[in-house]
Structures are given as structure tokens and as C-alpha cells.
Amino acid sequence: MAASGGAHWSSRFAFLMASVGFAVGLGNIWRFPYVTGENGGAAFVLIYLACAFFIGAPILMAEVLIGRRGQGSPTSSLTTLARHEGRSDNWRIVGGMGLLAAYTIEIVYAVVVGWVLWYLFKAIVTGFADVDGAMAEAQFAAVLDSNLGMLAWTLIGLAITGGIIYAGVKDGIERAVTVMMPLMFLLLVGLAIYNFFAGGFEEALKWLFTPDFSKITFATVLAAIGQAFFSLGVAMAGMMVYGSYLPRSISITHSVLLIVLVDTGVALLAGLVVFPAVFNNGLDPSAGAGLIFQTLPVAFAQMPGGHLFSILFFLMLSVAGITSMVGLVESVTAWLEDRFELPRHQSALLVVGSIAVFSVLSILSYNVLDELRIGGNNFNDAMDYFSNQILLPLGGLLIAVFAGWVMSRSATRDELTTIGDGVFSLWHFLIRYVVPPAVAVIFIMGVAG
């Protein structure tokens, strides 16, 4: 049974916008700038780009071709293909890991998207007028202390996402992403151009593109690989589901390379949106996760046109967050449809409703349940560790092994017909001999701490 009742993208543009929307999210615009800041700037960027193209892209191609060839949810696609190769049905567990990763990430991610929507509202109402460093910190602390506020904005984000999923692949996802993603790109480019004239742009360029190789450590490499996985959406089941909707006339290789190019381009552009404001206002580029919520409001308060800039910035961040949530929720929704033969409307409501319930635990972990420990971590940190340190690298490793060693060379070649033998041989070499050991190192080091 094809995922989502045999639905397919109406065009390559629709697939690209949906896939880029899934890949381009808070990982690019929120996480990338602060991880870059924490890891020394340009040297980190170079390693990140190498990881994205030589590790992330081959796995992403494998995910899409598994989805298209299997024509089902991640679990059923892997089962179908494993049986065809005379292998165990247990390979479906790899699909299950991706679905669990997507669901686990979404529980925490939905709350962060709620913060973004809340800050968009704050930007519209006040534009962060007269906000200084102490006020910005107090404002963010107040957000983390307000359980009702966080819940309200989390539910708003989930309602928008659920409405898009509820409407289906063509009427919901396609219509949303073909409007939202071009809007996001325009906002991003416009904000970068604004920064070019506003000041701090030259310092940002040096920070992002002048490497200091003395700052490269093994921790930097691990951070770069982890960021590439998180940013591209590797092993989160979404690309496998989107692949199952992909007509055979559309090139997987060209599409994936374009997705990776756009994804990394957005991450770098995000740096040119965030860092000029940071440098121009004498702020700390390595301020960590609070860079967006605690540092930039100070910059918005001080810059000419800061009110409009803040609105456009958080609007862009909201679009990125929602389109990524769509990809995460769609993968689990498609699995429910496929596995239990439920109508899409019912599946979408079940997934979004259950995420809303579990998101309460994420919200409470920022305050009243902060002392509740799971393996030494609070709920959010435990979910982050389980998904990013366990499920994503292990899932990526097993997807690479499945595509490189379980599926026959002829089967994968049949899905990658639009590229020459040389390019295919390079991909096949990477997916067999380079990606698995590289990801194994990430997994072992991540688990070892």
C-alpha cells in the first residue's frame, strides 16, 4: 500500500519546497548560529559543509530512494525491500526508529516553536523597544516560568501544523510550503541585505568565512556532524515518507543535492542575519541557545528600524519552525494511515493531540519538573539525548548499511537512473565505506559523552 493512499507530489517544485521546508527549520536559523558561535566560527563552518555533503547527502539520498522504491510508510517500505532481497523483516525496526525520533523531537520542538510564535507576537506589539540585556534575560525567564503561556503558544503552533496535515498532501502540505518557503527565503535575503547596510556585516563575514584551524578539536568535528544531521533532517523518517510521494520521473540525486545546497545556504544566510546584529551591538556571538531570545532583542531595540526587523525575523523563524513540524508530524501520520488503515483526518488528530499532551511534560521541565531526572537529565535533556545522540546517528548508520549492503546495487541504480555511472559509483562507495564508519564514530562518542 502506498503511503497516504497513493498520494504523489504534483511537481518537482512541490517536492523540493516540502523537503527544504522539512530540512530548513530552527536547526538552521536558531541552532546553527549559536553552535557556530560556540565552536569558533569559520573552521566549524568548513567541517559542517564537508559533513553535510559527504555524510548527510548520501544518507538523505538513501532515505528518499528507500521511500520511493518501498511506496509505503518507513516501516512498510523497509519490510517490502528487505523481503525482496531475501532479508529479515526486522529491518522495519530502522523505520520505527526514524518515526520514534521524529515523534520525540516534535514533543520538545513544538514548545520551542511556541516560543518563536510568542516572540513574533511580542515583536508585533512592542518591537522590543528600550530592551537592554537585563530586560531581555528577564523577559525570556518570564516565558520559561509561564506554563499557561507556553502551552497556549505550543497549541497554536500545533494547530497550524495539524491543519496543514489534516488537509492532505496536495491540498495541505503542497499549498502551504509553496507559499511559505519562498516567503521565508525572501525574508531571509531581505534581512541579510538590511544588515549589509546597517553595520556589522564585515565582522560577520570574517567570523563565518575566515577559518582558524587552531580551534578545530574532536569536539568541533562531533558538533559539526551533529549539526549536519539535525539541520538536514537525517534519519527522522520525514524524507523517507516524502520520497514515497515522489514520482519516478523526478531525479532523486539532483533533488537531494539541491536540498542540501539550499539547506546549507540558508544556514549561512542565517549567520549573516544574526551575527551582524550581534557584532554591531557589541554582543556575545557565543551566547548559546539564548542567542535568538536573549541577545537579539537587545540588538532590535538599538538598531534603526528594529521594530520592523524584529517582526520580519520572527516571522521567518516561525515559517521555518512550522514547515519542519509539518515534516515531523507527516511521517507519523502516514505511518498510522498505513499501519492501521485509518483515515488521514483521524490520523492527523491522533498524532497532533498526543504530541500536545506530551508537550506538557516538556513545558513543565523548564520550571516545576526541572528536578525530575531521567538518567541524570531532566525530561527535555533526556529527550534531546535520546533522539540526537542515540536515534539519529544509529538510524543514519543503519539506513546507510541497508542501502549500501542489503539492497542490491541494481536496485539502488534503478532509483538513481538520472546520474552517470561515475557519480553513482561515488555515492555507492560513500554509502558503503565512508558513511557507516563515520557515523559509528559519532554514535560511540555521543554515547560515551
Domain containing residue 247: CATH number: 1.10.4160
pLDDT in tens, 123-142: 999 989 989 888 998 999 99
Question: Per-residue pLDDT for 191 more than 70?
Answer: yes
Domain that holds residue 131: 3-448
CA–CA gap between residue 301 and residue 129 (Å, rounded)? 5
Q: Which residue has the cell 569559520?
A: 42
**HSE of 335 in the Cβ direction (CA atoms, 13 Å)?**
25
State if pTM tops 0.95.
no
Dihedral angle at the C-alpha atoms of 282, 285, 291, 294, nearest 10 degrees? -30
| H or E element in which residue 295 lies | none
- Other CB atoms within 10 A of residue 87 CB: 16
* pLDDT level of residue 198 (50, 70, 90 thresholds): confident
Question: Per-residue pLDDT for 83 more than 90?
Answer: yes
**Res 1: pLDDT:** 42
Question: Per-residue pLDDT for 224 more than 80?
Answer: yes
pLDDT in tens, 17-54: 999 999 988 878 878 887 887 787 888 889 999 999 99
Alpha helices in 27-146 (DSSP H): 32-38, 42-51, 57-70, 74-84, 92-125, 133-145
Question: Per-residue pLDDT for 61 more than 50?
Answer: yes
Least confident of 250-259, 279-288, 393-402: 279-288
Total domains in the fold of the chain: 1
